[in-house]
Amino acid sequence: MLRFEHAVFLYVLVLVPILSVVFMLMLNWRKKAFAAYGDWSVIKRLMPGISIPRLVIKFTLMMFGFSFLILGLANLQVGSKLMEGERKGIDMMIALDVSNSMLAEDIKPNRLERSKQAISKLIDQLGGDRVGIIVFAGKAYTQLPITTDYAAAKLFLNTIDTKVVPTQGTAIGEAIEMAIGSFTEETHSKAIIVITDGENHEDGAIDAAKEANNMGIKVYTIGMGLAEGTPIPEYNSYGRRTGYKKDRQGTTIITKLNEDMLQQIATAGNGVYVRANNSRAGLSKVLDEINKLEKTEFDSKMYSDYEDRFQYFIAAALLFFILELFIFERKSKWLSKFDLFKQQ
């Protein structure tokens, strides 16, 4: 099992391609500046100390050193001891709506981001429970199979956005059915948490919740959004808002919370319904209800110890930085005296 202890440092690596582009532009500008004084081949003879390849090599070594330094700061860790043990808890599958209506900002920063923040906090509160994640819009997909690896759960959670499911819609029934099939038979306490605005739902959600209840699986629903509704923002490829979604007649679409549907699903699934707002996301109340369920002991495998590997990356970074110091920007007159291929 591999993980980065401080994964936030990895975002700094985006500077590598940016600096590379700046460097290439600088070389091009420098060449044009010299060309203003005459032909480039003539200038190279007049200024034999200039060496473009040396600049490229120095920059490349610096970028390698910088990259390995960032990887060292992120601290790659390797799970060194796999232990089997018994945990006591329940299984829960979180079904998260990723349709475009979840971009609405009636709940700040928007419905989807607030949902992800709440799920992340819920994961932090878990003890021996197992958790999995399903994303759905017009179709449902398993984002993370049920697991006790909470670090992996949060990692997968961070990658979720409205683009992970290309088909629009709100297939709650399909998501519940997929969650039912994700559970294993050895545990007795199981729960499904559906987080959605419930809008444009597909048929079969209530029947799926009843099926889950018949199998001893409770279904909880959390409504993301406000009853009065709000427009759905649109963004360009640069992440800038360009306006709001409109229908074919040019009317701005207002997305509203389908609270009645979510209450019916929770009732059919013998769970509870909670409506989120700007002060709370609702998962804490649902978790309190889930904690009332009977905890079941089950075997689990976990990495009980992680070993740091940052030292290898730091050593590589220092090596590249030292090599860069030994390569001069200009050709050395002293070294040019040693011509091993000079005929006697």
Whether 208 has a pLDDT exceeding 60, the answer reads: yes
CATH of domain 85-300: 3.40.50.410
Q: Give residue 82's pLDDT band: very low, low, confident or very high (50, 70, 90).
A: low
Q: What is the mean pLDDT of residues 28-33?
A: 77
Residue with more model confidence, 63 or 126: 63
Non-local (6+) Cβ contacts of 195 within 8 A are: 94, 95, 96, 97, 115, 118, 119, 221, 222, 224, 283
Q: Give residue 344's pLDDT band: very low, low, confident or very high (50, 70, 90).
A: very low
Cβ atoms 196, 262 nearer than 8 A: yes
Cβ atoms 212, 263 nearer than 8 A: no
Residue with more model confidence, 112 or 86: 112
Residue ranges of the chain assigned to CATH 3.40.50.410: 85-300
pLDDT tens digits for range 236-290 = 877 788 888 888 888 888 888 989 999 999 999 999 999 887 766 667 778 788 7
The encoded tokens of residue 263 equal 């209450």
Considering the entire predicted model, what is its pTM?
Answer: 0.62
pLDDT tens digits for range 168-189 = 888 999 999 999 999 876 656 8
Q: What is the mean pLDDT of residues 201-218?
A: 89
